[in-house]
């Protein structure tokens, strides 16, 4: 008969209606699936007892692709058809991918949507499809283990993932036939796994040192909302670098200089890794190197030597950590709990150094490889409805501000960073020119004031605006971010109801380092941004004044102005044009003021004439009411 799990009081489901939900940690190197059974969140192993699924897909001609260990084994023989680290490509454009291309040995082709495609023997595959294979594999494992179909999954993503990368992850789940209950930030999931969300409030640091990446996130919890205060990291630093350092040391100790034999190198790295892992508990570990001539060097690697080898790498994690704290405006002592994530944090030396830096012992009792998946499973269990209502539902925030481009290449923020999601915000805009019938909506993400410093997410046009004088049209732009952090934008002209709308789809993107830099820059460039914004504002205003005066001169200049007056106005306009070309906001402001003064009489005469024209032919009592 079926095997049963213990339910929360009153939550027993009817037979065949179990609300099975899982948490998935879709990692760069390894992925995991976890679920809550009988009140305990656990990762699910495969038939051989392995919990970690290598995030590797091996495509074969006329056969189903292999995923995981089998794919990893094929990597050496068939590198072009074996896709690893596909997470780095999610939601990225061809240009970004080419830049990463030096690290990745794959052949890329441009897709019709701008999404890069990988050439494999079974055809061109997008990163979304590759990720979907991994998700499919985990879904099958979960369904085989739990004995039923899943109602949904919570999938984790890095805190710095932007809209496009989140949408790509969600698309991958759809392709894999998984319902996404929620995308959850990885550091938030780690905090949930330790039950930190059960506290009233607090500030936490999540230190995530994986195989190939390092991320540090500073989270603040208040009223059930996790806010990402800062993130930083190094997308090319991890346990693999430690293995290389140890392997190089072994090679040098064996009296050898260069190593270009890939086979020997792989074995050396494997031994280095084994030694590193052994030294987690032991004080020393015997290592040996077989020289090309067949002779064998044997030596001992002890903890102090290992520390000397890895300390420079650990030090490299502390630089982003300091930066993240600085961005958050905090000192190490402000951090209430430090959570360790990633296999490399098992190393006692890493734990020591982190403890020393923050002045407190980090939380380590959950397996650092599994902690993110476990947090996701706990969320999935709540979202699937297996917990009583009293259980607090975790809220998330958007990582970077969302806004749109306004005249002068400036960004108007509609939804500020760290707003809780789901959220909807709207703002009204108007036309800039008389008779303007269309408006380009350029959606941007980032913290900076100028368009060129932010990330472009999407563009669309609102057409068929009825011709009106500048400033008369009322265009309401609504930004909506759903619970997964995905954005849709709608623009609507209020008087006629014409509307246009777009959903932000993955198109192209930035590297992790660039996103991180964008966040940092917004803080370090705050003053420069303000100056730039003021300048642009004055330039736009100058443009508007010049156009208005020019139009007035054209229609009524002859009628109301003497040659002398006209010359004075034109010279003030010329001065304004010169000022506008410069880069000092106050000078432009003064020049606008001068044009204003010079055109004062002209404007009054026009107004008088306008009123007279409107009144002509009417009797006074027509205006009595």
List the catalytic residues.
Answer: 25, 87, 186, 208
Residue 219 in contact with residue 227, Cβ under 8 Å? yes
Reduce the DSSP state of residue 244 to 3 states and report it: helix
Whether 478 and 360 have beta carbons less than 8 Å apart is answered as no
Q: What is the footprint of other proteins within residues 137-156 (CB under 8 A)? A: 141, 144-147
Which of residues 166 and 387 has its CB atom nearest to other proteins in the complex?
Answer: 387
- Residue 530 interacts with other proteins (CB under 8 A)? no
Instruction: Say if CB 327 and CB 229 are below 8 A apart.
Output: yes
Question: Binding to other proteins by residue 39, rule CB under 8 A?
Answer: yes
Residues 6-35 that bind other proteins (CB under 8 A): 6-12, 14-16
* 47 lies in the binding site for other proteins (CB under 8 A): yes
Q: Least CB distance from residue 365 to other proteins, whole Å?
A: 12
Q: Burial code of 333-365, b = ≥16 C-beta within 10 A, e = fewer? A: eebbbbbbbbbbbbbebbbebbeebbebebbbe
- Using rule CB under 8 A, residue 48 touches other proteins: no
Reduced to 3 states (helix: H, G, I; strand: E, B; else coil), residue 361 is: coil
- Decide whether 44 or 454 has the Cβ nearer to other proteins: 44
- Shortest spacing between CB 194 and other proteins, in angstroms: 13
Does the protein bind other proteins through residue 5 (CB under 8 A)? yes
Task: Provide the minimum distance between the beta carbon of 379 and other proteins in the complex, in angstroms, as a whole number.
Answer: 17
CB of 137 to other proteins, least distance (A): 13
Q: Nearer to other proteins by C-beta: 15 or 497? A: 15
| Rg of the chain over all Cα atoms, to the nearest angstrom | 31
**With CB under 8 A, what is the number of residues at the site for other proteins?**
28
Q: Are 457 and 163 in contact (CB under 8 A)?
A: yes
**Residue 216 neighbours by CB under 8 Å, 6+ apart:** 205, 206, 207, 208, 231, 232, 233, 317, 320, 321, 324
How near is the Cβ of 367 to other proteins at its closest, in Å?
14
Contact segment (CB under 8 A) with other proteins among 41-49, 209-217, 240-248, 277-285 equals 41-49
Distance CA 180, CA 420 (A): 19
Task: Based on the shown chain and the rule CB under 8 A, indicate whether residue 199 belongs to the binding site for other proteins.
Answer: no
79 binds other proteins (CB under 8 A): no
40 forms part of the interface with other proteins (CB under 8 A): yes
Burial class (CB in 10 A: 0-12, 13-18, 19+), 469: exposed
Give the shortest CB-184-to-other proteins separation in angstroms. Answer: 21
Closer residue to other proteins in complex, CB, 7/590 = 7
What is the C-alpha separation between 214 and 139, in angstroms, rounded? Answer: 27
Residue 11 or 288: which CB sits closer to other proteins?
11
Measure the CA–CA gap between 143 and 577, rounded to whole angstroms.
69
Considering only residues 317-336, where is the footprint of other proteins by CB under 8 A?
none
Q: Which is nearer to other proteins, 145 or 437 (CB)?
A: 145
- The reply on whether position 284 binds other proteins by CB under 8 A is no
Measured from the CB atom, the residue of 16 and 559 that comes closer to other proteins is: 16
Output the 3-class SS for 463-497.
CCCCCCCCCCCCEEEEEEECCCCCEEEEEEECCCC
Binding site for other proteins (CB under 8 A): 1-12, 14-16, 37-40, 44-47, 141, 144-147
């Amino acid at each position: 008969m079926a095997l049963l799990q213990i339910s929360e009081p009153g939550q027993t489901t009817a037979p065949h209606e179990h609300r099975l939900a899982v948490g998935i940690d879709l990692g760069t190197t390894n992925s995991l699936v976890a679920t809550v059974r009988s009140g305990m969140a656990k990762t699910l192993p495969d038939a051989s007892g392995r919990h970690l699924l290598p995030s590797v897909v091996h495509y074969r001609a006329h056969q189903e692709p292999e995923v995981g260990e089998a794919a990893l084994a094929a990597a050496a023989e068939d590198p072009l058809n074996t896709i690893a680290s596909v997470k780095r490509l999610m939601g990225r454009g061809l240009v970004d991918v080419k830049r990463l291309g030096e690290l990745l040995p794959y052949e890329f082709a441009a897709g019709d949507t701008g999404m890069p495609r990988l050439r494999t023997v079974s055809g061109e595959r997008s990163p979304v499809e590759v990720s979907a294979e991994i998700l499919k594999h985990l879904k099958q494992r979960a369904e085989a283990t739990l004995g039923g179909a899943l109602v949904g999954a919570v999938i984790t993503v890095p805190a710095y993932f932007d809209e496009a990368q989140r949408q790509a992850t969600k698309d991958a789940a759809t392709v894999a036939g998984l319902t996404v209950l929620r995308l959850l930030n990885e550091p938030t999931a780690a905090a949930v796994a330790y039950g930190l969300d059960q506290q009233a409030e607090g500030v936490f640091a999540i230190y995530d040192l994986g195989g190939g990446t390092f991320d540090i996130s500073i989270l603040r919890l208040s009223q059930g909302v996790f806010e990402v205060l800062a993130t930083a990291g190094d997308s090319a630093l991890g346990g693999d670098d430690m293995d290389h350092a140890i392997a190089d040391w072994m090679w040098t100790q064996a009296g050898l200089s260069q190593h270009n034999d890939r086979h020997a190198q792989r074995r050396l790295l494997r031994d280095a890794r084994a030694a590193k892992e052994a030294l987690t508990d032991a004080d020393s570990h015997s290592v040996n190197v077989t020289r090309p001539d067949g002779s064998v060097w044997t030596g001992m690697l002890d903890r102090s030597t290992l520390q000397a080898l890895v300390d420079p790498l650990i030090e490299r994690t502390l630089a982003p950590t300091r930066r993240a704290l600085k961005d958050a405006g905090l000192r190490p002592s402000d951090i209430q709990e430090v959570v360790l994530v990633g296999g490399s944090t098992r190393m006692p030396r890493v734990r020591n150094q982190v403890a020393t830096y923050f002045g407190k012992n980090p939380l380590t009792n959950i397996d650092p490889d599994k902690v993110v998946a476990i947090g996701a499973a706990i969320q999935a269990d709540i979202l699937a409805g297996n917990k009583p209502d009293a259980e607090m539902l975790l809220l998330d925030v958007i990582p970077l501000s969302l806004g749109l481009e306004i005249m002068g290449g400036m960004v108007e923020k509609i939804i500020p960073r760290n707003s809780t999601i789901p959220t909807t915000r709207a703002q009204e805009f108007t036309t800039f020119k008389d008779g303007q019938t269309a408006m380009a909506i350029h959606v941007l993400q980032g913290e900076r004031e100028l368009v060129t410093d932010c990330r472009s997410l999407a563009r669309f046009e609102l057409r068929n605006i009825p011709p009106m004088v500048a400033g008369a049209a009322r265009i309401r732009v609504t930004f909506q971010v759903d619970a997964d952090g995905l954005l849709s934008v709608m623009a609507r002209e209020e008087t006629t109801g014409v509307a246009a709308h777009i959903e932000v789809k993955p198109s192209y993107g930035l590297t992790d380092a660039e996103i991180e830099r964008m966040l940092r820059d917004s803080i370090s460039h705050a003053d420069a941004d303000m100056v730039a914004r003021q300048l642009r504002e004055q330039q736009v205003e100058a443009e508007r004044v010049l156009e208005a005066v020019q139009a007035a001169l054209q229609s009524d200049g002859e009628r109301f102005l003497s040659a002398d007056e006209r010359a004075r106005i034109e010279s003030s306009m010329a001065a304004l044009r010169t000022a506008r070309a410069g880069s000092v906001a106050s000078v432009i402001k003064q020049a606008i003021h001068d044009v204003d003064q010079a055109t004062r009489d002209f404007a009054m005469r026009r107004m008088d004439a306008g009123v007279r024209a409107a009144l002509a032919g009417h009797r006074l009592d027509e205006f009595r009411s």
